Amino acid sequence: MSQKDDWHLTEILDYEHGRGDPFAAAVRATRMAMVITDPAQPDNPIVFCNEAFQHLTGYSREEIIGRNCRFLQGEGTDRSSVARIRAAIDAAESIHVDLLNYRKDGSTFWNALFLSPVRGESGDVQFFFASQLDVTDRVMAQETIAAQKAAVDSEVKRRTADLEKALEAKTLLLHEVDHRVKNNLTMIGALLRLQVRSIDDADIRAKLETMMERIDALATVHRRLYQADDVTRFDVAAFAANLASDVIGASGRSNIRLRCDIEPIEVRSEHASALGLILNEVLTNAIKHGLRENRAGSVSIFATRDGEEATLSIEDDGVGLIMDPASSGLGHALIKRLSPQSGTTVAWDRLPTGTRVTLRIPEMEHTS
Amino acid sequence: MTPSPTPFKALQVLIVEDEPLLAMDVEMMVEEAGHSVVGEAASLYEVEAMPTEPAPDLALVDMQLARGTNGLDVSRLIQDRWPSAVIVFVTANPKKIPEDFSGAHGVIAKPFSRSGFMSALNYLGEGIADPPPASSQPSSFVAAPSVLEIWSARSQMDG
């Protein structure tokens, strides 16, 4: 390019500023690409371009002067942006727009085009002045960020969908297992009840009934746990009261009175089955043996808490049975073996009339 | 327990349960309690095929039934055909029962104990023969709100 010697081609700028004008010199020398077009000529051709513009586009001055700016556009150029530029020129207004332009060698660049009308003293538009800044890096960075964001978004969506699917599968499995546990417990209970009815020998039937009651106690614990709002806690006092009420209610005996004076005693649900079985032994012992042979009487359940320890006591005014520690019966073994798990102690006292069984149960925070 | 002698009435009981062993077990407990079984069905279709006489006093209805049918549909059919029948769901999924019980009267949750089931049966027997029931409501039975309104007068849970 022979910019340095082409002073004569810029004579057109001498309309209002003389040659050698410092402003014209600055325009020619700046690194900002600039053109001036003349709207008075057909198709608003470029009448001046600086060296930076030639450098940016790859065209020489001879190839540029006399042409409309649209020669920089190509197939990737956004049509609506071009229309906005045309509208701004028609309205003689300024406009700033990012446009994809093409160099002589066919390569592209993002052009931050600023275009504004230049008015003469009369107020008429004499020229359009346009500056071009290569903002390819910025646009590409934005596009890269947008692409990365889209990629991350779609990955997050995919992972979320995977997790939701996994959760759905787990929930389904949990429901299935829960349903099976309930149904199996129901079936085990039904099988035992069916068997009990078919046994003629009173002793064997009594033993099987005892076993059935133990299974029933476990089923009741499970039912109460799944119906509770908080599956991690189990109220043993309410369980004892309900069990006693069910056993008395089912016996059809109207000569047993049940008295309950209880406050909730909550244990961790992992201890629920063991304590449920212990209470089943104690309560059936009181009702079936303490108040045996249709002996009229009462069963009382008291539950109190004193901070670190809860006390659950079950009293009957029956025959005064004490579960013999030396007894080889399974009932006693169950109580002895199951109580240490939850740190519970079980004491048997003979009352003037009847028996009192006292369970001392550590409060939940202290249970191991 | 109040020892007031409730006039006992032998109930006609309909059992809708798709598990044969459990149906047999329930049937025996119903009979042990002094009631009689008027019919057994494993699905909605079997209830539909039943004769309208004799009408059951009490229907014990499982929720999940054979041939893709369910207890809610059976309950609607029973309400339609035998409007005076007391309908009690017997289910392992009590949470699936609508809050208003869709016109049914209560639920016994599975797995139930023999004593829990018998207590519920006694309570229902008293409620049907001479409401309100003399016994307190056992924890094994949850009554529908509408039934509670009618029966609540003397019912007080002690647990």
- Two structure tokens written together for A338: 């199951």
| pLDDT band at residue B6 using 50, 70 and 90 as cut-offs | low
Q: What is the pLDDT of residue A163?
A: 95
Cβ–Cβ contacts within 10 Å for residue A299, how many?
A: 24
Residue A351 has pLDDT above 50, yes or no: yes
Rounded to 10°, the helix A236-251/B114-129 angle is: 60
- Mean local confidence (pLDDT), A31-37: 92
Site of tokens 């049966």:
B121
Using only C-alpha atoms, what is the Rg of chain B?
Answer: 15
Q: How far is A266 from chain B (nearest CA, A)?
A: 14
A256-278: pLDDT as tens digits? 899 999 999 999 999 999 999 99
**Per-residue pLDDT band at A20 (split at 50, 70, 90):** low
Is B71 within 8 Å of chain A by CB?
Answer: no
Is residue A124 over pLDDT 60? Answer: yes
pLDDT the model gives residue A21: 75
| Positive or negative: CA dihedral B78, B79, B82, B86 | positive
Q: Which long-range contacts (CB under 8 A, 24 or more apart) does A341-344 make?
A: A341/A271, A341/A274, A342/A267, A342/A268, A342/A271, A342/A274, A342/A275, A342/A367, A343/A367, A343/A368, A344/A275, A344/A278
**Model pLDDT for residues B120-130, shown as the tens digit of each residue:** 998 898 888 87
Write down the CATH number for the domain with range A230-366.
Answer: 3.30.565.10
pLDDT tens for A209-247 read: 899 999 999 999 998 888 888 888 999 999 999 999 888
A80 SS3 class: helix
| Residue numbers of B between 90 and 109 with CB closer than 8 Å to A | 92-94, 109
* Residues of chain A positioned with their CB less than 8 A from the CB of B159: 238, 241-242, 245, 260, 262
CATH number, span A3-134:
3.30.450.20
Mean pLDDT lowest among A7-21, A287-301, B71-85: A7-21
ipTM topping 0.85: no
State whether residue A248 sits within 8 Å of chain B by CB.
yes
Cβ-Cβ contacts under 8 Å, A238 against chain B? 159
Token pair belonging to A12: 């057109």
B124 to each of A127, A128, B147, how far by Cα in Å? 100, 97, 11
Task: Indicate the pLDDT class of residue A201, thresholds 50, 70 and 90.
Answer: very high
- In this prediction, residue A2 carries a pLDDT of 46
Is A22 strand, coil or helix?
helix
Let me know: does A34 contact A50? Beta carbons within 8 Å.
Answer: yes
pLDDT tens, A298-325? 999 999 998 788 999 999 988 877 666 5
By DSSP bridging, strand A33-37 and strand A46-49 are: antiparallel
Helix (H, G, I), strand (E, B) or coil at A101: strand
Cβ pair B94:A212 closer than 8 A: no
CA dist A237 and A229 (Å) reads: 17
**Distance (Å, whole) CA B30 – CA B37:** 7
Q: Which residue in the set B22, B94, B159 is minimally distant from A186, CB to CB?
A: B22
Q: In 3-state terms, what secondary structure has residue B87?
A: strand
State the sign of the Cα–Cα–Cα–Cα dihedral A140, A141, A145, A151. Answer: positive
Q: Does A216 contact chain B (CB < 8 Å)?
A: yes
- Interatomic CA distance for residues B107 and B116, integer angstroms: 12
Helix boundaries (H) for chain A: 22-29, 51-57, 61-64, 79-90, 136-197, 202-227, 236-251, 272-284, 330-338
Neighbours of A102 (CB within 10 A): 19
Supply the DSSP string of A28-46, one letter for each residue. Answer: HH-SSEEEEE-TTSTT--E
Average pLDDT over residues A359-364: 88
Q: How confident is the model at residue B155 (pLDDT cuts 50, 70, 90)?
A: very low
Q: To the nearest whole number, what is the mean pLDDT of chain B?
A: 87
Distance from CA of B115 to the nearest CA of A (A): 5
Do A116 and A131 form a contact (C-beta atoms < 8 A)?
no
Residue A327 clears pLDDT 70, i.e. is over it: no
Chain B residues with CB-CB distance to A231 below 8 A: none
The predicted model gives A115-137 an average pLDDT of: 90
Q: Does B154 touch chain A (CB under 8 A)?
A: no
When pLDDT is cut at 50, 70 and 90, the band that residue B87 belongs to is: very high
Q: What is the pLDDT of residue A17?
A: 46
Q: Where are the domains of chain A?
A: 3-134, 230-366
Q: Is A193 an 8 Å CB contact of chain B?
A: yes
The pLDDT tens digits of the residues spanning A55-87 come to: 999 999 999 999 999 999 999 999 999 999 999
Angle subtended at Cα A231 by Cα A166 and Cα A261, rounded to the nearest 5 degrees: 170
Which residues neighbour B88 within 8 Å (Cβ) at sequence distance 6 or greater? B58, B59, B60, B61, B104, B105, B106, B107, B108, B120, B124, B141
Is the Cβ pair A241, B140 closer than 8 Å? no
Q: Which domains does chain B have, with CATH numbers?
A: 12-154 (3.40.50.2300)
Interface of A with B in 147-166 (CB under 8 A): none
Percent of chain B exceeding pLDDT 90 equals 60
Tell me the pLDDT of chain A averaged across its residues.
Answer: 87
- A129 pLDDT band, cuts 50/70/90, is very high
> What are all long-range contacts of A191-197, with beta carbons under 8 Å and residues at least 24 apart?
A191/B21, A193/B25, A193/B28, A193/B29, A193/B114, A194/B21, A194/B24, A194/B25, A194/B28, A197/B28
> Would you place residue B158 in the very low, low, confident or very high pLDDT band (cuts 50, 70, 90)?
very low
Helix (H) or strand (E) holding A311: strand A309-316
Q: Sort out which chain A residues have CB atoms less than 8 A from B93's CB and list them.
A: 179
Nearest to A72 by CA among A54, A47, A92: A54
CB-based contact, A238 to chain B, within 8 Å? yes
Say what the pLDDT of residue B1 is. Answer: 47
CB atoms A194 and B19 under 8 Å:
no
pLDDT confidence tier of residue A8, bands split at 50, 70 and 90? very low
Higher pLDDT, A287 or B88: B88
Q: What is the pLDDT of residues A156-198, one digit of tens each?
A: 999 999 999 999 999 999 888 888 898 899 999 999 999 998 9
